[in-house]
Chain A
Amino acid sequence: MKLDKKNSIIMTMICIIVILIFVFLYFNSKNEIKTYQKNLFYMDTIIQIKLYNISSNEANTAFEEIEQIYSEYHQLTDRFNSYSEINNIYYINNNSDNIKTIKLDERLYEMITYGLNWYEKSNGLLDINMGCIISKWKEHFNDADGIPSEQDLKSCVSNDIILGEDFTIVNNHPDIDLGAIAKGYTTQIVSEYLESIEITDYLINAGGNVVVGDHYSNGEYKIGIENPNDKSIYKILNVTNKAVVTSGGYERFYEYNGHKYSHIIDPNTKYPAEYMKSVTVICDDSAFADALTTTLFLMSIEEGQEFVKDMDMDIDVIWYSNDDEVYTTSGVENYEQE
């Protein structure tokens, strides 16, 4: 009897140890996540894509298609180069063809329409028709030296963007620059493509435009938000199936004569906006997030808080003010809990 009891204790111990081994093996196998990474260079930025938990064939096919999407949208939105057989932004702005309207690629037509809708929505703050002014500032931004003269800025005139039926645009040489929306818009297209072929676990970071799908191991993606002063991380968000986009930030300013100039130009003043150091938007749609961060960067934080409240959507915002205060909408704390 006594011996039996001891035997059963031994058996129990053996069982426990075996179970422990399996538990360890299980946790170990969970760490073996198949990750595929690709870096692309389009739209003046680096685009980092990570796909998880699929076969390498699926990953390769997806990467090819994604590169195709970014490269085609890059060409369509390119303001400085023409490409044979596509009527892109360069062509719309600069062509000397004697035609009344230009037939556009459906995708470019949709993106311009999206930009014009945001012009309405933002009361004219998000203006996709100021390529010339943006160029004037960019020259100085790139050398971190000087600012454009009043004369320079005044020399920029643009004709209205007039879209017609059947994917056409009036050939009146507008001054389109889609920089404020192109990255976020295209990244949204890519994320929809991935969902359509049932790749659910992914992360895309297109130069500060982040989109994530489901997490690769049932957790949440940890996304660090950079401090605009020194590049450190001042906030970590835990998210899945969201877009996180920042406007402003470190290296998106240049200093001249002791004054800091941002890269986002206010269409009303034709000068860079100075309301804050950076603003971050968390929402479901990357195109929306990209357009909204630009819009919010162009108004005061108080106005922005009203603007977001009035939209009455599932949007959260983090403002980093000029005096280094952080303001958030109430939902942000849901992303910060461990």
Chain B
Amino acid sequence: MNKNDIGMILLICIISLIAISYISSNHEEGNVVEVYYEDKQILNVPLDLDNTYQVDGYLGPIEIEVKDSKVRVVQENSPKHICSNQGWISESYESIICLPNKVIVNIGSDSSLDTIVN
């Protein structure tokens, strides 16, 4: 084996390592919080970034809090406050549905579940 061969092997190894790391980096998307009003996405923010957000629902503003990779609806205007009473969600198959406000909070990711029946 001469120097050229070794150089060739090294080169190919480096190229393949770069390719593989590039490909796998595409995979590792962090989870995101997706908020929909009817079917329009109105918010898409990382789940691992603690913050509060305000979006507009059918019956008024809705305050959404993201903390410790969990998300909840803090405040909304609706007759029964079902969605603010629901509390935190953290799994990608969970949703918070504010039916009177036509707002849905999803966690988007490479979900292990496609949907749930309840």
Contacts and interface: CB of A to CB of B under 8 A. Distances in A.
Contacts of A142: 80
Given A17-B12, A24-B20, 15 more contacts: A7-B5, A10-B9, A28-B23, A46-B104, A203-B115, A205-B115, A210-B115, A224-B115, A224-B117, A225-B116, A226-B116, A233-B116, A244-B117, A250-B118, A280-B117
26 contacts: A6-B1, A10-B1, A10-B5, A10-B9, A17-B13, A20-B20, A24-B23, A31-B110, A37-B39, A39-B38, A39-B39, A39-B104, A40-B39, A45-B99, A50-B114, A205-B115, A205-B117, A209-B117, A210-B117, A223-B116, A224-B116, A225-B116, A226-B116, A226-B117, A245-B117, A250-B118
Contact of A225 (B13, B80, B117): B117
Given A224-B115, A244-B117, A233 B93 contact: yes
Given A24-B19, A25-B23, A41-B99, A14 B12 contact: yes
Interface in A7-23: 7, 10, 13-14, 17, 20-21
Contact of A10 (B8, B99, B104): B8
3 nearest interchain CB pairs? A226-B118, A224-B116, A221-B114
Interface in B77-118: 80, 93, 97, 99, 102, 104, 110, 112-118
Nearest to A225: B117
B51 interface: no
Interface residues of A, number: 45
A249 B27 CA distance: 35
A246 interface: yes
Interface size, B (range): 20 to 34
B52 interface: no
B118 A246 contact: yes
Contacts of A251: 118
A7 B102 CA distance: 66
Q: Considering residues B27, B38, B118, which has the most beta carbons from chain A within 10 angstroms of its beta carbon?
A: B118
A223 B117 contact: yes
Contacts of B44: none
Q: Considering residues A31, A39, A225, which has the most beta carbons from chain B within 10 angstroms of its beta carbon?
A: A39
Contact of A222 (B9, B12, B39, B113): B113
